[in-house]
């Protein structure tokens, strides 16, 4: 819990905690190289990390920190980081990673619900998170909580998935978790919806960036299963996404990946 008075367990489902405990359980510490961290997974991640390059001397809050790789990176860049995750196993792994990477003095990891960030010692110059906003419900309460902890000129940046494409959402609903096709998330989560982005706009200046189109390449595991895609097809679908991203900007809004920036108003 965030602290002894924390009472928000009503928001947390035991199954969600269990799911993520299983994911982060028993992970060996990992060395994070700040020179290559941004390049870990494609243009969207690169863009996201580039928006956090200037955190030196700032108080940064990371939501849903999982194994703590981003928290470590931010501390390596000179930030004082507070990280929060609902899963005790994630918290333990993140603490181990902070120690392993010699940044434990600048990384405080708390177990708790993102809705409880008001109990942490803010305000924060930055808030951030990778693939976490879409886990938190009620989302409007999260928006209020973010608004309360962000410093007057504070900013936030989030790497997120997106529910904007009906076709991708149909595949996710009907194919993921069946026919040998993996399902990576927990039972409660749904990709971030346009309604939730709108809720952010009510309290913040919001910018949405789509540095790459993630659409047809997502069809590879959906249509062919995780291990059955011939390289030539996989490469073809990736190329199709890249070409469409470049030449048909109107399609970018349907990408499954996005970077969301918020600024206090
Ligand atoms: C998809 S994982 C992302 C982990 C990490 N951000 C990363 O990029 O490696 C989502 C994380 O959010 C955490 N989480 C889910 N719901 C949460 C909530 N309501 N409050 C805080 N953390 C939550 C999970 O325990 C999990 O570690």
Residue 88 located in a structural domain: yes
Asked whether the beta carbons of 148 and 124 are under 8 A apart, the reply is: no
Residue 37 located in a structural domain: yes
Residue 93 located in a structural domain: yes
Candidate of 1, 40, 74, 132 to mutate for ligand 1, largest count of ligand atoms within 8 Å of Cβ: 132
C-alpha to C-alpha distance for 93 and 236, rounded to whole angstroms: 38
Q: How many domains does the chain have?
A: 1
- List the CATH number of the domain containing 23: 3.40.50.150
Q: Using the mean position of ligand 1's atoms as its centre, give its distance from the Cα of residue 54 in Å.
A: 24
114 lines ligand 1 (CB under 6 A): yes
Asked whether the beta carbons of 53 and 77 are under 8 A apart, the reply is: yes
86 lines ligand 1 (CB under 6 A): yes
Kind of pairing, strands 150-161 and 257-264?
antiparallel
Residue 233 located in a structural domain: no
Residue 27 located in a structural domain: yes
Asked whether the beta carbons of 122 and 72 are under 8 A apart, the reply is: no
- Which ligand 1 atom is the nearest neighbour of the CA of 159? 8
C-alpha to C-alpha distance for 221 and 69, rounded to whole angstroms: 26
Candidate of 66, 93, 109 to mutate for ligand 1, largest count of ligand atoms within 8 Å of Cβ: 66
Range of the domain at 208: 8-163+189-213+254-264
Residue 57 located in a structural domain: yes
Residue 116 located in a structural domain: yes
Q: Under DSSP, is residue 211 helix (H, G, I), strand (E, B) or coil?
A: coil
Q: Under DSSP, is residue 116 helix (H, G, I), strand (E, B) or coil?
A: helix
132 lines ligand 1 (CB under 6 A): yes
Residue 101 located in a structural domain: yes
Query: pLDDT in tens for each of the 265 residues of the chain?
Result: 554 334 344 346 677 778 888 888 878 899 999 999 999 888 999 999 999 999 999 999 999 999 999 999 999 999 999 999 999 999 999 999 999 999 999 999 999 999 999 999 889 999 999 999 999 999 999 999 999 999 999 999 999 998 888 887 877 777 666 656 566 565 566 888 999 999 999 999 999 999 999 998 887 766 666 555 567 777 888 899 999 999 999 999 999 999 999 998 8
H/E run at residue 181: none
**Token pair belonging to 53:** 């390059």
Residue 6 is predicted with a pLDDT of 41
Q: How far is CA 200 from CA 3, 89, 127, 251, in A?
A: 27, 30, 13, 22
């Amino acid at each position: 819990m965030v602290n002894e008075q924390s009472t928000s367990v009503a928001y947390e489902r035991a199954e969600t905690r269990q799911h993520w405990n299983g994911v982060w359980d028993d992970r060996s510490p990992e060395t994070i190289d700040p020179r290559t961290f941004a390049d870990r997974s494609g243009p969207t991640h690169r863009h996201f990390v580039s928006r956090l390059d200037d955190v030196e001397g700032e108080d940064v809050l990371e939501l849903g920190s999982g194994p703590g790789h981003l928290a470590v990176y931010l501390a390596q860049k000179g930030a004082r980081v507070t990280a929060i995750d609902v899963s005790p196993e994630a918290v333990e792994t993140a603490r181990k990673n902070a120690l392993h990477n010699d940044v434990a003095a600048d990384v405080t990891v708390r177990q708790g619900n993102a809705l409880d960030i008001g109990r942490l010692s803010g305000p924060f110059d930055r808030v951030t998170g990778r693939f976490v906003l879409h886990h938190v419900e009620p989302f409007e309460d999260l928006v209020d909580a973010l608004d309360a902890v962000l410093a007057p000129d504070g900013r936030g940046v989030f790497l997120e998935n997106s529910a904007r494409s009906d076709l991708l959402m149909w595949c996710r609903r009907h194919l993921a978790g069946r026919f040998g096709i993996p399902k990576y998330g927990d039972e409660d989560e749904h990709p971030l919806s346009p309604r939730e982005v709108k809720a952010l706009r009510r309290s913040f200046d919001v910018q949405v960036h789509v540095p790459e189109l993630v659409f047809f390449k997502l069809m590879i595991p959906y249509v062919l299963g995780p291990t059955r895609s011939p390289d030539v097809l996989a490469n073809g679908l990736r190329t199709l996404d890249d070409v469409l991203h470049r030449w048909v900007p109107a399609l970018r809004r349907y990408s499954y990946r996005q970077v969301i920036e918020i600024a206090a108003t």
